[in-house]
Amino acid sequence: MIELRDICKSWDGGKTFAVKNVSLEVPAGKVLALLGGSGSGKSTTVKMINRLIEPTSGSILVGGEDITQQDPTLLRRRIGYVFQSIGLLPHMTVADNVTLLLKLQGVAAEERTERANQLLDMVDLPSETFARRLPSELSGGQRQRVGFARALAAEPKVMLLDEPFGALDPVTRDTLQVEFQRIQRQLGLTAVIVTHDMAEALLLADVIAVMNMGEVLRIGTPRELLQDPGDDYVARLLETPRRHGQLVHELGS
């Protein structure tokens, strides 16, 4: 469904690279986590998939089609995109924020209302309660749910998520992670999620690609990484969830 072939991104004409020789494949219906610290190249990589950033070299295919041969605006309308700052329009109701893309596509008002209600119910924001509210009347977690609903409005087969839970408190973060898993499985979405949190990657992803300094160091399933980190940097990233898990086990013993 998503394939990256030797992707590179340089901002200075090839002197340095934010992303270098990255090749990845995400099968249909699976979740790939791009994991790494700040400056590792993970957000740049995911933004190249929907052409928010253009690659310096290499090729990207979505659904078997080269994205450089597609209109960027139309491409983005086919790919759901969720990011940490959410970006809801403050003067528009929740329902109107959710269906903004459908309005741009010329979908009739009655159909947009029906779709908004369906999506809000799907993300556990009952439409009768939340549809007419403004973003300022919502909590951070509720606004992030609206962001998910908006990304699903055009019924995408592919979803990109750039640190979608990073600004949330731990309880809300955990709740939305579970909601994302439920929706992803229900709809069969192919997804790429950017995160710096190894525990989040282990919980949500079918495959994890660990990045550092623009390159992919290790690709594997959560089980494969836990059994064989294959790199000192990957092993260090695994130390925190291992330590937390051991501490919880000891406290419960």
Q: Average pLDDT per run of 10 along the chain, which is 253 residues long?
A: 96 94 96 94 95 95 92 89 82 94 90 94 92 93 90 90 84 86 91 92 95 95 93 88 70 71
The confidence score (pLDDT) of residue 192 equals 97
The confidence score (pLDDT) of residue 85 equals 67
DSSP state of 228: -
The confidence score (pLDDT) of residue 253 equals 67
**Regarding the domain with residue range 2-86+157-252, which homologous superfamily does it belong to in the CATH classification?**
P-loop containing nucleotide triphosphate hydrolases (3.40.50.300)
Alpha helix (H) ranges present in 40-131? 42-49, 72-78, 94-98, 100-104, 109-122, 127-130
pLDDT in tens, 83-95: 876 788 999 999 9
Q: Which residues contact 162 (CB under 8 A, 6 or more apart)?
A: 43, 46, 47, 81, 82, 83, 84, 194
Q: What angle do CA 173, 179, 185 make, to 5 degrees?
A: 135
Q: Which two tokens stand for residue 151?
A: 């990304």
Domain ranges across the chain: 2-86+157-252
Strands (DSSP E) along the chain, which ranges? 2-9, 19-26, 31-35, 57-62, 65-66, 79-83, 158-162, 190-195, 207-212, 215-220
Residue type, 250: E
Q: Which two tokens stand for residue 217?
A: 């160091």
The confidence score (pLDDT) of residue 176 equals 85
